Amino acid sequence: PYRTLHTEITKNAVALFLAEMLGNSIYEEEQNLQLFEFLEASLQWLDTHSDIANFHIYFLLRLTKYLGFYPDTNNMEASSFDLLEGEFTDTRSLNPMLAGNNLSYFKSFLGINFDGIDSIRMNKKNRQELLNSLVLYFELHLQGFRKPRSLAVLNEVFS
C-alpha cells in the first residue's frame, strides 16, 4: 500500500504523468515480469522518498531498457546524442540532438540508480528541456506514441 503517492501533489502529478507515458508506450499483451518488477520497485521508491525532482527523468530513461531502445552508451565522450539513432556521436546531423548542458545531464543519468538521482542538480529550465527531449525520444522510437497531455501539468508542478 502506498502512503504518499495519492496525498502529495508533486508525487501525484509525477505518477499521473508516468501512467500516461506507460499507457502510450506499452502495447504488450503477454506478461513481462521484469518490467512489472521495475515498475513496482520504482513506484515504491517514489512513495518513500522526498527528493523526487529528477525521478521521472531517470524512470523514463530506465524504461527504455524494457521497451528496447535504451541509449547506446558506446562513445559517450562524443559531443552530442542523436535522439533518432539512439547513440552518442560527433557527426553533425539533421536529426534531433542533445548537446551542451542537456547532454551532460543526460549522461549523468546513465549508469546511476534511483538513490543517485538527487545528486544531479538541475534548474527548472534544464529539467524541462531534458524531459521534453526524452518525450521526443519516445516519440521517435515508438510507433503510434502520443505526447502526454499531462506533460504541461508536470512542468507547472516543478516550476
What does the pLDDT look like over 74-119, one tens digit per residue?
A: 999 999 999 999 999 999 999 999 999 999 999 999 989 999 999 9
Q: Tell me whether residue 128 is exposed, middle or buried, using C-beta atoms within 10 angstroms of its C-beta: 0 to 12, 13 to 18, 19 or more.
A: middle
3-state secondary structure of 88: strand
- For 116-150, write each residue's pLDDT tens digit: 999 999 999 999 999 999 999 999 999 999 999 99
CB 84 within 8 A of CB 96: yes
Residue 84's contacts (CB-CB under 8 Å, 6 or more residues apart) are 93, 95, 96, 140
C-alpha distance from residue 120 to each of 54, 64, 83, 103 (Å): 8, 20, 21, 13
Give the pTM: 0.94
pLDDT band at 19 (very low <50, low <70, confident <90, very high): very high
Domains parsed from the chain with CATH numbers: 9-157 (1.20.1440.120)
Residue 23 and residue 29: Cα distance in Å, rounded? 13
